[in-house]
Amino acid sequence: MSEPENSPELELYLRHLLHEKNYSPKTAESYGNDIRQFLKHTGGFEKADETSIRAFMEKMSRAKYNRNSVIRKIVACRNFYRFLLRSKKITSNPFEYILTPKAEKRLPGFLTEAETAALLETPDISQFFGLRDRAILEFIYSTGVRIDELVKLNSGDIDYVNEEIKVLGKGSKERIVPVGGIALNILKQYIRELKSKFDSGPLFVNKNGTRLTARSIERMMKKYVLKAGIQKEVTPHTLRHSYATHLLDRGADLRSVQELLGHSSLSTTQIYTHLTVARLKKEYDKAHPRAKK
Q: In this structure, are 120 and 77 located in the same domain?
A: no
Q: How many domains does the chain have?
A: 2
Are 128 and 29 contained in the same domain? no
Residue 104 in domain: no
Asked if 78 and 117 sit in the same domain, the reply is no
pLDDT number for residue 260: 80
Report the alpha-carbon distance of residue 110 to residue 156 in Å, rounded. Answer: 30
Question: Does any domain span residue 148?
Answer: yes
Is residue 118 located within the same domain as residue 77? Answer: no
Indicate whether 156 and 243 sit together in one domain.
Answer: yes
First to last CA, the chain: 69
pLDDT in tens, 210-265: 999 999 999 999 999 999 999 888 999 899 889 888 888 888 877 777 878 876 56
Q: In this predicted structure, what is the pLDDT of residue 194?
A: 92
Q: Judge whether 53 lies within some domain.
A: yes
CA distance 24 to 27: 5
Residues 50, 98 contacting (CB under 8 angstroms)? yes
* Together in a domain, 54 and 175: no
Give me the active site residues, please.
Answer: 146, 170, 237, 240, 263, 272
Whether 49 and 181 share a structural domain: no
- Is the residue at 54 inside a domain? yes
Q: In this predicted structure, what is the pLDDT of residue 29?
A: 92
Q: What is the pLDDT along the chain (293 residues), one digit of tens a residue?
A: 456 667 889 999 999 999 888 888 888 899 999 999 999 999 989 999 999 999 999 999 899 888 888 889 999 999 999 999 999 999 999 998 888 777 666 656 889 899 999 999 999 999 999 999 999 999 999 998 989 899 999 988 898 889 988 888 777 778 888 899 999 999 999 999 999 998 878 999 999 999 999 999 999 999 999 999 998 889 998 998 898 888 888 888 777 778 788 765 656 556 666 556 555 566 556 655 555 65
pTM over 0.85, yes/no = no
Do 262 and 174 share a structural domain?
Answer: yes
Would you state the pLDDT for residue 1?
A: 42
Task: Give the per-residue pLDDT at 225.
Answer: 94
The answer to whether residue 291 sits within a structural domain is no
Query: Do 136 and 73 belong together in one domain?
Result: no
Burial letters 64-74, b for 16+ CB under 10 A, else e: eeeeeebbbbb
User: Which range of residues forms the domain containing residue 13?
Assistant: 4-86
